[in-house]
Amino acid sequence: MGRGSTDSIIHQLATLKQQYREGQPHNRTGYRSDYAAGKPSRFRRMRTGLGGTGDSHVADETTYFRIIEHIRDLERNEPLVRSMFNIAVNQVIQGGFRYDPKTDDEGLNAELKDWMREWCDDPSACSADGRTSFPKGEELTFRAVERDGDFIVLPLESGHLQWMECERLKTPTNSRRNIVHGVELDDTTRRAIAFYFTKGIVDPWQRITRVSDTDRIPAYDEEGNLQVFHVLDEQRVTQTRGISALIAGQDLVGMYGDVDFALLVKQQMAAFMVGQWENNTNAAGGPPPTGQQRQDLASIYGGTYGLAGTPGYPPANGITTLEEIEPGTILNNPPGRKLTIQGSNITTSESLEHMRRIIQIVGLQVALPLIVMLMDASETNFSGWRGAVDIARMLFRVKQKNLIRRMHRPITHWRYRWQIDRGGDIGRKLKRLFEKQGPEKAFRHLWHPPTWPYIQPLQDANADALKLSTLLSSPRRVAADRGLEFNDIVDETVADNKRAILLAIKESLDIYAQTKVVVHYRELLNRDLFKGAKLFDDLDYADPAQTAKPTADKVTAPSPNKTT
C-alpha cells in the first residue's frame, strides 16, 4: 500500500471523527443504537408532565387535596373500596403490635412492659382526644397512610399523643421558604426542618395566606430529638408528602360501578316480559270490533288496548299498550287474538369475568389478592390459594416494618425521655441506665408486629423441622421466614422454662413439707420427652428441715439395637 493510500485512509477517518463530533445525524446512524422505549410508538400513549422530583408531580396543593378527598369519597360510598381498606387494616394491624423492652435490667424490663401496656390500653392517658387507645391509633394511622398518603402524630408535653390528619399540613402562600404542602425543607439536604399546621380543622380547599395563621412546629427539639412523627410510605427519595395507595386504581373503581350498573340493567331486561299479539285463525272470526264494541271489550277484559287515551282494541296504527300489568296477572285474550311471550336470554359471563378482573387489579393496590378481596378461595386450588396469601403476607410485613420505623420507635423513645424528665421510679432507673450506657442500650426495645397462623399448621411445622434436621436452613432463618426473631425465641424459651421449673420445684418441696410425700417436680410440670426416652428419678430429699437441692434428671435414649 502506497503512502497516498495511507494518507487517504487517515484523512477519511479524521473526517468521520470530525463529523461525529459535530453531531451530523446522517453520520451517526452507524455508530449508535437507541432504546425503543425512548421513541414514540403507536403502542405507547404520549404522556405529559414528565420529569422533575417526586414533589413536582403534586406541586399544586389544590390538586393534591382534591385527590385525597376523591379517594375518601370512594371509601365512604363504594363498597369495594371500603371493604378493601377494612381487610388491609385487619391483615396488617390485627390486634395491635406488641412492645418488648430489651434493656440489660430484667426487672426494669418487666416494669417498662407493664407501664407501656397500661398507657397503650388507656385512651384517656394515651391520646389527647381521650377516646383513642394506641391499638386504635395504629389502625387509624395505617388506614390514613393507605387511603390519604400520610398521617401525623404529635407528642405533647402532657404525655398524650395528638393524631393529625394530613389536610392540617398546609403551606402559607406568603412565605418565601422552601415549603412543600406544609413541610419546610432544607434547601441542600431536603431534610425536614419544620411543619406548618392549620389552627384547627379547616376546609381542604381553603388557602392559608399568612404564616401567622399556622402553628410552626420544628421537626426536632433543641437536643436533636424528633418531635413530629410524620408517617408515610414514600416511593421516591425526593417525595416529601405521601400519596394514596389507590392513586393508580381509582378510575377502575368507577369502571367497576359502571359495569355493575350495566349488569343490573341487563338482568332487569332479562326478567322483563316481552310478547306480541298474533291473529288466531282458529278463533271465531268476524271483523275486528269497532266503536261501542271496542269499549265493551275493554271493560270486559280489564285493560286499555291502544294508544294512551284511546279505549278499545285494536288501535288504528297497530301498536298495543298493556297497562296495569303486575306479577300474577292473568290476561284474557281478546277475540281473534293470542298473546305470544318471547323469552329473553342475555349472557353475562363475560361481564362478570371483567368485574372480577377489576376487583383483582384494585386489590393489588393495597397488596390484597383476589381470593382475599372476595374472601372466596374457589377461584383456585389449595396450592394457588396458599401461594397468593404467602406473597401478600410478605408485602404486609414490609408495611408493618415501615409503621414501626415511622411511628412505633419514635413514640417509644419520646415516652422514655418524657418519663425521665417526669421522674418517678421508672424515670430514675431509665436515667441511671441512660447515663451509664447511653441511649442505644438504655432505650433498646422491640415492637413485635402481629403474625399470621400457619395455613397448614401440621405440614408447615413438619417442614420447618425437616429443614433444621437436614441442615437445609438454620434456626434463625426458619424463624425469620415466619416473621420472628430467633434470639427472642431462645431468650424467651429459656426464661419461661426456667421460671416454670423453679416454680415446680418450689411447689414440690411445699408438698413434701406438708405431707411428707416425695413428689417429683416433673409431675407438676409434665413435659413430654422425645420418643423412646426414659426418665430415672433420683431426686433425693436428705433432710426435710434443709433446703433440698434436686439433682439433674437422667434422660437415657434407647439403644439402637433394642426396640422399646
Q: How does pLDDT run across 292-347, given as a tens digit for each residue? A: 666 665 555 444 444 334 444 444 445 555 555 665 566 666 666 676 666 556 55
**Percent of the residues in the chain that have a pLDDT greater than 70, as a whole number:** 74
The ranges assigned to domains in the chain are 56-92+125-248, 274-342, 507-556
CA distance 128 to 138: 15
Give this prediction's pTM.
Answer: 0.71
* 136-145, 178-187, 254-263, 365-374: least confident range: 254-263
Q: Is 379 exposed, middle or buried (0-12, 13-18, 19+ CB in 10 A)?
A: middle
Please report which confidence band the pLDDT of residue 537 belongs to, taking 50, 70 and 90 as the band edges: low
CA distance 223 to 560: 67
CA distance 411 to 404: 10
Q: Angle, to 10 degrees, between the axis of helix 134-147 and the axis of helix 106-121?
A: 70
Q: How far is CA 191 from CA 99, 179, 186, 196, 239, in A?
A: 29, 11, 5, 15, 11
**183 pLDDT above the threshold of 80:** yes
Q: How does pLDDT run across 413-471, given as a tens digit for each residue? A: 999 999 999 988 999 999 999 999 888 889 999 998 988 877 777 888 888 888 888 98
What is the model's pLDDT at position 65? 92
Highest mean predicted confidence (pLDDT) among 10-24, 222-236, 320-334: 222-236
What is the model's pLDDT at position 443? 92
**90 pLDDT above the threshold of 90:** yes
What is the model's pLDDT at position 4? 57
**Residue range 269-274: mean pLDDT, rounded:** 61
Q: Which amino acid is at 87?
A: I
What is the model's pLDDT at position 14? 72
